[in-house]
C-alpha cells in the first residue's frame, strides 16, 4: 500500500510525549511530506500508558499504526517499550529511555514489573537504549528528557540536522531554548 515512515512514540502520561510528536510532525511538513499525527488527550494522560503516532510519506491515509508496521518506536519508559514491541516492523528500531516507572498494579504488589526488559528486547530486535534522564540533567533540566530522546531519533531519520534544530527553535519557548538545544544535541550525538 502507501509507503509511509511510521513512528510510534510511547510513554507514561505526563512525560511529554505529546510535545515530541508535535515537534516531529512540524519538522516533517517542512520537508514536503504528507503527514498525520495521532494524539491522545483526556483520561489516559493521567499517568496512564500514552501512545502517539506520526506517519509521513507521499500520501498518508490512516493516522494510526497497526501491529508490525512501526519503523521506529521511541519509548520514554521501559515497560511501555516492551508493551509496544508487537507494533515494530521487522527490521525496525526501538529507541528506549531506560527509566522505569511502576504502574499501579506493580505499586500495589498485584503484578510484577517484568525483569530484564532491555535484555529481552535486545535479543529479538534492534535497540538503542540510553539514560535520557541523566543526559537531560547534564544538559540543564530534567524536563528536557523528551528533547534528548528526539535527538536520538532524529539521527535515525532522513531529515537533516539543521531542519530539526529549526523546528525545536520554533516549538520551544525562548526561555528554555538553550537547555533544549543542548539536550537535542546530546541525543543527536550519542
Partner 1 sequence: MKKLLLGNAAVAQGAYEAGVRFVSSYPGTPSTEITEIIATYPEDEVYCEWAPNEKVAAEAVIGAAIAGGRAMTCCKHVGLNVMADPVFTDSYIGVNGGAVFCVADDPGMHSSQNEQDSRHYAKASKIPMLEPSDSLECKEFTRMAFDLSEQYDTPVFVRLSTRVSHSQSLVEIGERKEIPLKDYKKDIPKNVMMPAMAIKRHVVVEERTDKLIKFAEDTPLNKIENNGSKIGVITNGISYEYSREALGDKVNYFKLGLVWPLPVNSLKEFAEKCDEVYVIEELDPFIEEHCRAIGIKVHGKECFTLLGEYTPAMIKKAVLGEDSAEFTGINEEIPARPPVLCPGCPHRGTFYVLSKLGLTVSGDIGCYTLGAVAPLSSVDTTICMGASISASHGMAKVRGKEFNSKLVSVIGDSTFMHSGITGLSDIVYNKGANTVIILDNSITGMTGHQDNPTTGKTIRGEATKQVDLIKLCKALGIEHVTVADPFDVKNFEAVVKEETARDEVSVIIAQRPCALLKTVKYTGHCEISDKCRKCKMCMKLGCPAISVDKNGNVSIDVTQCNGCGLCIGVCPFGAIEKKD
- The nearer residue to partner 1, 105 or 160, going by C-beta atoms, is 105
Of 58, 116, 126, 142, the one binding partner 1 by CB under 8 A: 142
Q: Three-state SS for 149?
A: helix
Under a CB-based contact definition with an 8 Å cutoff, are residues 184 and 155 in contact? Answer: no
* Residue 114 engages partner 1 in binding (rule: CB under 8 A): yes
Q: In whole angstroms, how close is the CB of 15 to partner 1 at the nearest point?
A: 10
Q: How far apart are CA 103 and CA 186, in angstroms?
A: 29
Under a CB-based contact definition with an 8 Å cutoff, are residues 134 and 149 in contact? Answer: no
* Residue 133 engages partner 1 in binding (rule: CB under 8 A): yes
Under a CB-based contact definition with an 8 Å cutoff, are residues 2 and 36 in contact? Answer: no
Please count the other Cβ atoms lying within 10 Å of the Cβ belonging to residue 175.
8
Of 49, 128, 138, 156, the one binding partner 1 by CB under 8 A: 49
Q: Which is nearest to 149 in space by CA: 89, 90, 99?
A: 99
Of 9, 12, 95, 154, the one binding partner 1 by CB under 8 A: 12
* Residue 160 engages partner 1 in binding (rule: CB under 8 A): no
- The residue range among 94-102, 146-154, 167-175, 181-189 that interacts with partner 1, by the rule CB under 8 A, is 94-102
User: 59: Cβ–Cβ under 8 A, 6 or more apart, which residues?
Assistant: 2, 34
Site residue total, partner 1 (CB under 8 A): 63
Taking only Cα atoms into account, the Rg of the chain, rounded to an integer number of angstroms, comes to 16
Of 19, 40, 165, 190, the one binding partner 1 by CB under 8 A: 40
Residue 66 exposure: Cα atoms within 13 Å on the Cβ side: 3
Of 66, 116, 170, 178, the one binding partner 1 by CB under 8 A: 66
Of 7, 20, 23, 37, the one binding partner 1 by CB under 8 A: 37
Q: Name the residues that contact partner 1, by CB under 8 A.
A: 1-2, 12-14, 22, 25-26, 29, 34-49, 60-64, 66-69, 79-80, 82-83, 85-90, 99, 101-114, 124-125, 133, 142
Amino acid at each position: 500500500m502507501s509507503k509511509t515512515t511510521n513512528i510510534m512514540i510511547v510513554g507514561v502520561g505526563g512525560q511529554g510525549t505529546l510535545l515530541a510528536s508535535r515537534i516531529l510532525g512540524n519538522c516533517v511538513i517542512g520537508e514536503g511530506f504528507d503527514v498525520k499525527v495521532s494524539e491522545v488527550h483526556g483520561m489516559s494522560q493521567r499517568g496512564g500508558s500514552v501512545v502517539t503516532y506520526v506517519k509521513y510519506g507521499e500520501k498518508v491515509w490512516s493516522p494510526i499504526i497497526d501491529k508490525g508496521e512501526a519503523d521506529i518506536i521511541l519509548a520514554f519508559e521501559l515497560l511501555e517499550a516492551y508493551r509496544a514491541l508487537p507494533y515494530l516492523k521487522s527490521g525496525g528500531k526501538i529507541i528506549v529511555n531506560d527509566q522505569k516507572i511502576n504502574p499501579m498494579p506493580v505499586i500495589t504488589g498485584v503484578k510484577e514489573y517484568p525483569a530484564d526488559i532491555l535484555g529481552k528486547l535486545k535479543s529479538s530486535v534492534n535497540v538503542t537504549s540510553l539514560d535520557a534522564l541523566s543526559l537531560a540533567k547534564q544538559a540543564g533540566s530534567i524536563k528536557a528528557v523528551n528533547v534528548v530522546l528526539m535527538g536520538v531519533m532524529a539521527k535515525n531519520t532522513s531529515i537533516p540536522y539543521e531542519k530539526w534544530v529549526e523546528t525545536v527553535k520554533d516549538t520551544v519557548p525562548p526561555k528554555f531554548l538553550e537547555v533544549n538545544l543542548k539536550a537535542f544535541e546530546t541525543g543527536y550525538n550519542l
